[in-house]
Structure 1
């Protein structure tokens, strides 16, 4: 009777170990398949989607720039107030100054108005 108990315990342990190994290998295989699927989707769907969006935005920008007319500069007294100089450059331009878009207190740079 004792030998039967030992044999059944040994078989039970081996079946539990095999079950754990099988489930771990199945999960590992599933993970590999999922990673492969996402990799394929990234290259086949996402990258071409980004490329199409970039092309669309570039074409719209070109179309907009072709007929864009800049408004004339109006020196409103409440805009572009400089109570003290900026600590960089000539002290008149903000840190992220863009001469095409941002006006100085006396007008846009490089344009005669």
Structure 2
């Protein structure tokens, strides 16, 4: 029984992971860098301020990813 499971993982799982890696590699190469660098608009509305700091930043705020109510901090 254990031998069947290990053979199955080599025959199905490893080629499946390889196909997924190839798919992401090819998709990444076809995507232009300008479309990857665009930031999406903030898709949420805050009705209350946060109870810490100045009330605009989340607890684990990342200025490159998380938008503030008036937009992103860094305009690169």
For these two proteins, the number of residue pairs brought into alignment is 74
The alignment status of 1:46 with 2:13, answered yes or no, reads yes
Identify unmatched segments of 5+ residues in structure 2.
Answer: none
Q: Which runs of 4+ in 1 moved over 2 A?
A: 61-67, 69-74, 79-87, 89-102
Question: Taking structure 2 as the reference length, what is the TM-score of the superposition?
Answer: 0.57
Bigger proportion of residues as helix:
1
Q: Secondary structure at the match of 1:84?
A: coil
Identify unmatched segments of 5+ residues in structure 1.
Answer: 1-33
* Structure whose CA Rg is larger: 1
In 2, the alpha carbon distance for the partners of 1:103 and 1:80 equals 11
1:10 alignment partner in structure 2: none
Q: Residue 86 of structure 1: CA displacement?
A: 4.2
